[in-house]
Amino acid sequence: MSLGSTATTIFANSFTIIKLPSKAYYQYDVVFMPELRNADRRIQFIQHMQNTVVPNIFNPRVVYDGRALAYSPGRALPLAGGTGETFSINLNSNVQVPLESRGSFQIRFTQTSGVPIQPTDVNPLIHQQQHSTGALTAINLMQLIIRQGPNLHNTNNGKAYFPHDRSQIRDIGGALELWRGIYHSVRPAPQKMILTIDTCTAAVYLPGDLCNVALSFLGTTDIRALNLSSSDPKFRQLEKFLNNVRISIPSSSGKRTKTIRGLVERAGKFVFSKNDGQETTVALHFQETHNIRTQYPDIFGVNLSGKKNPHPSVIPAEFCQVLPGQLYKRKVPEYLTAKVVDFAKIKPQDRFRKIKQSVDAYHRSEFVVESGMQIDKEPLQVNARHLNVPRVTYGAGGTANVRDGGWNVVGKQLSSPKMFSNWAVIDFVADKLSMDQIRERVRSLASCCQQLGMGSSVPPLAIERGNANMPDESLTKLFKGVQSRAKQDAFILIVILPNNAGPIRNAVKHWGDIKYGVMTQCLRLEKFLAANNQYWNNVALKINARLGGCNSSSESGVLTSLQAQPFMVVGADVSHPGPGVAKPSVTGVVFSYDLAATKYIALTDIQQPRVEVIESLQQMMELALRRFIEISKVPPKKLIFFRDGVSEGEYDTVATVELEAIQAAIKTIVGNRDYKILVTFIVVGKRHHSVFFPRQNEGDRKGNCHPGLVVENEVTGPMKNDFYLQSHAAIQGTPRSGHYTVLHDDVFNGHLQKIQELAFTLCHVYAKATRSVSIPAPVYYADLVCSRGVFHMNPEAHSLQFDDSASSASGGSSFDLNIWRSAFMNVNKYLGARMYFL
């Protein structure tokens, strides 16, 4: 029986573009000579040129994408060369300057085509007739028109802008601030174009005195901490953090803006040769030239000319000011993540109010007004459905009472409990815990396991103290001490870790997952000390699933129909390194092998950085099919493939290549032409900005839409088979729906409602939670598998850094994947069929 659904009406964070731009736009290539890499500076030059230097030519003003294209509304630019002209611009001059003038740039405008861009080229797309290059160009143009005004006057990353409003800024330490901003995007939808607006958060460099910024980064207030040697790891970390940060420095004409290209130790004592050949120090130079005394000659300074320059330009840090509003484009350090999450939380009613207020900026934008575009001031109301909640069942006939996406496991027996009687404990927190504290708390864990049906409350085989400086040796010693009494495939080691224990945890997981094949359950000291019954129940769920048990299952009509024949559910993902980080991308594939689609086996590989297609998918799927046949004795008849992490621009490529890989694997393993495996390929996206809000008094206790919300019109793609499913309830803030796009479907014959029901059902079987989650469990699992790439690397391969401390540009001919492959190690055979990745 189908889950069924209830009709509802909700608000989306999208606004209808009720009138497309009424003018044609002429496109121009924009080239800076010499090359100017900083986008903010390029925009600054373009605005100065068209506002002040040659406003008669740029009337009306062009919209500029910050890179290589500009668009003139309504008419071609009256350029001296007809289709091209070069302008020589200096920010300190209101007229054009001679070529090669100091501080000037030549900006070349060249018309790309005599045929203007027509915004109405989107009509065939939104009316579901055809997708064309012209439509894509018109969408990009409207995107630029919308974003140009707000982005010009605020810090922005292109897709979002961040006003300099101190009430919306928080210092979180680590020389970083968090800024609230507004994301904005023009998108095609059925029968219309829409503007989607959302709140967002960005990390920004702490502005002001560079010494204070450096002290914040180092977590101290002692100025002596800045007396860093270039061989000190902290010096290298600070140099990496400050690379390419813009600063202001003193000059004879006041202040100049420069970019940090490196750091120099003891900058005040740095010796250089003056123009007359005489040597002097930086401190003496500033005293003689600028009448500025260097107070801290032993602290670091900045190099403005780069390490390769034989004549570095060195400025003491105490004379530098970090300019405000510079976005931090790397991953925020893990120890600050909790502060980021806390800052990003906004009550749904506050978020919706801010979104509705933000639409006014586009009605005031001169670029929108000039284009003739008109935007509805009211957000879209969308007809939607609420799916009924699937039945969540436990052992002994127990059924969960699901409310607002959550339920309680207390008093339940697990569906398929495994015996928790073969375990040991190791403590890596030194003197923070007494043995009596450890015994008391792990006794509570054993008691919870017993109540859930996981055997009697058996004490651990051993409780040992571990050496945090030598985790591998400590783990091996303990395991060998209990090995004669421990059945390895049913043994689990409880590991107590410090609160900030990244390197120790890496060592523990490599030892357990890869080297010895021992299941490990890590517990942070903070959680261990505050543990209550609910916490131990959650730990017990992870342990049972790791041991091969099933905690609960979810029932629905579509899952029942699938169970009539062997079927496999697959989750797949690719995790990429951060910008400028030289390490491979990690691929993860998980596949189910039980009728309830609750038990999964994981496969992991590495590939070239930032390649979205899973290059070894055929081999991974061949292995998955072999393992499935070993367990089930027959191949699956149906294969549902959930693919995470694919951007919209890569849908066609990924679907084509990966579908071919899946079909090739089926042909290799099955081979029998009479045995057909039906395949459905679904992309699941989380990184979108479509948010939904209930009508007044129709939401849950937090003011959000109830779990099970399905949106399949108004804000979906005009040419796609897609839908949004909000499957969970937000503990804080506003929940983000999963965006599902069906790229190939043999299993369900185009019945979206069956896919919606299956996805919602699979959101209720995430093994380590008693809540529905935001995306189907197999997609979540694939993401977890990818995040564990560091555990697979041989720690003895010292030349390879698999964390984000690796910093040179990756990809292309300079990146040698074979070196990484030689250090990559597969999961130990003892854990190969277990959900070790939880």
Q: In this structure, what CATH number is given to the domain that contains residue 494? A: 3.40.50.2300
Cα–Cα nearest to 550, from 767, 345, 384, 760: 767
Q: How far is CA 139 from CA 125, 126, 671, in A?
A: 10, 11, 45
Q: What is the mean pLDDT of residues 112-130?
A: 91
Q: What is the pLDDT of residue 812?
A: 43
Q: How many CB atoms lie within 10 A of CB 118?
A: 17
Predicted confidence (pLDDT) at residue 811 exceeds the cutoff of 50: no
Q: What is the pLDDT of residue 160?
A: 97
Q: Are β-strands 492-497 and 423-427 bridged in parallel, bridged antiparallel, or unpaired?
A: parallel
What is the percent of the chain with per-residue pLDDT over 70, rounded to a whole number?
Answer: 98
Rounded CA-CA distance 495/514 in Å is 16
pLDDT tier at 770 (50, 70, 90 boundaries)? very high
SS3 548: coil
Q: How far is CA 544 from CA 450, 523, 591, in A?
A: 11, 16, 19
- Give Cβ neighbours of residue 136 (< 8 Å, ≥ 6 apart): none
Predicted confidence (pLDDT) at residue 441 exceeds the cutoff of 50: yes
Rounded CA-CA distance 14/305 in Å is 46
Q: How many CB atoms lie within 10 A of CB 405?
A: 25
Q: What is the mean pLDDT of residues 366-392?
A: 97
* Chosen domain end from 518, 546, 574: 546
Cα–Cα nearest to 92, from 251, 217, 247, 241: 251
Angle at 452 between CA 446 and CA 453, to 5 degrees: 90
Q: What is the mean pLDDT of residues 164-186?
A: 96
830 within domain boundaries: no
- Give Cβ neighbours of residue 161 (< 8 Å, ≥ 6 apart): 147, 150, 151, 154, 155, 181, 182, 184
Contact criterion met (CB below 8 Å) for 518 and 476:
no
Which of the given ranges, 495-504, 585-594, 731-740, has the highest pLDDT on average? Answer: 585-594
* Burial (Cβ within 10 Å: 0-12, 13-18, ≥19) of residue 6: exposed
383 within domain boundaries: no
**Alpha helices (H) in 77-209, listed in sequence order:** 123-126, 133-152
Note whether 37 and 167 are same-domain residues. yes
Note whether 239 and 303 are same-domain residues. yes
For 213-217, 274-278, 477-481, 831-835, which range has the lowest pLDDT when averaged over its residues?
Answer: 274-278
Q: b or e along 782-798 (b: 16 or more beta carbons within 10 Å of the residue's beta carbon)?
A: bbbbbebbbbbbebeee
- Phi and psi angles of residue 498, each rounded to the nearest 5 degrees, phi first: -60, 165
pTM: 0.93
Write out pLDDT tens, residues 318-330.
999 999 999 999 8
399 within domain boundaries: no
515 within domain boundaries: yes
Q: What is the pLDDT of residue 731?
A: 87
Q: What is the pLDDT of residue 6?
A: 94
Note whether 218 and 120 are same-domain residues. no
Contact criterion met (CB below 8 Å) for 178 and 170:
yes
Rounded CA-CA distance 511/520 in Å is 9
Q: What is the pLDDT of residue 3?
A: 80
SS3 111: strand
Write out pLDDT tens, residues 334-371.
889 999 999 999 999 999 999 999 999 999 999 999 99
Give the pair of three-digit tokens for residue 640. Answer: 């549902």
344 within domain boundaries: yes
811 within domain boundaries: no
Predicted confidence (pLDDT) at residue 604 exceeds the cutoff of 70: yes
Q: What is the pLDDT of residue 309?
A: 77
Q: How far is CA 479 from CA 420, 426, 523, 566, in A?
A: 17, 10, 18, 39
More confident residue, 255 or 303: 303
686 within domain boundaries: yes
Cα–Cα nearest to 769, from 554, 558, 618, 595: 554
Cα–Cα nearest to 448, from 492, 416, 411, 415: 411
Give the pair of three-digit tokens for residue 142. Answer: 């409207």
Q: What is the mean pLDDT of the chain?
A: 93
Question: Computed over its alpha carbons, how large is the radius of gyration of the chain?
Answer: 30
Rounded CA-CA distance 639/646 in Å is 19
Write out pLDDT tens, residues 753-768.
999 999 999 999 999 9
Predicted confidence (pLDDT) at residue 813 exceeds the cutoff of 60: no
Strand partners, 303: 262, 314
Note whether 705 and 759 are same-domain residues. yes
400 within domain boundaries: no
Rounded CA-CA distance 613/628 in Å is 24
Tell me the DSSP string of 701-755.
TTSSPPTTEEE-SSSS-SSS-EEEEE-S--SSS----EEEEEEEESSSTT-HHHH
Note whether 604 and 732 are same-domain residues. yes
Q: Is the peptide bond before 636 cis (omega within 30 degrees of 0)?
A: no
Give the CATH number for residue 277.
Answer: 2.170.260.10
Q: What is the pLDDT of residue 799?
A: 65
Predicted confidence (pLDDT) at residue 807 exceeds the cutoff of 60: no
Note whether 218 and 318 are same-domain residues. yes
Return the axis-axis angle of helices 471-482 and 502-509, rounded to nearest 10°. 40
* Burial (Cβ within 10 Å: 0-12, 13-18, ≥19) of residue 426: buried
Note whether 364 and 303 are same-domain residues. no
Rounded CA-CA distance 496/519 in Å is 14
For 350-359, 508-517, 814-823, which range has the lowest pLDDT when averaged over its residues?
Answer: 814-823
Note whether 536 and 587 are same-domain residues. no
- Phi and psi angles of residue 404, each rounded to the nearest 5 degrees, phi first: 50, 40
Q: What is the mean pLDDT of residues 768-794?
A: 96
Q: Is the peptide bond before 34 cis (omega within 30 degrees of 0)?
A: yes
Q: What is the mean pLDDT of residues 186-207?
A: 97
* Chosen domain end from 322, 350, 384: 322
Q: What is the mean pLDDT of residues 21-44?
A: 94
Note whether 197 and 221 are same-domain residues. no
Note whether 481 and 460 are same-domain residues. yes
Note whether 135 and 84 are same-domain residues. yes
Q: What is the pLDDT of residue 96?
A: 96
Give the CATH number for residue 768.
Answer: 3.30.420.10
- Give Cβ neighbours of residue 253 (< 8 Å, ≥ 6 apart): none
Write out pLDDT tens, residues 677-714.
999 999 999 989 999 999 999 999 999 999 999 999 99
- Give Cβ neighbours of residue 292 (< 8 Å, ≥ 6 apart): 250, 286, 319
- Phi and psi angles of residue 451, each rounded to the nearest 5 degrees, phi first: -65, -25
Number of domains in the chain: 4
Predicted confidence (pLDDT) at residue 804 exceeds the cutoff of 70: no
Note whether 198 and 212 are same-domain residues. no
pLDDT tier at 1 (50, 70, 90 boundaries)? low
Give the pair of three-digit tokens for residue 765. Answer: 């079987």
Q: How many CB atoms lie within 10 A of CB 119?
A: 24
The domain of 531 spans 417-546
Give the pair of three-digit tokens for residue 70. Answer: 């500009």
Q: What is the pLDDT of residue 810?
A: 38
Write out pLDDT tens, residues 54-88.
999 999 999 999 999 999 999 999 999 888 999 99
Q: What is the mean pLDDT of residues 784-804?
A: 83
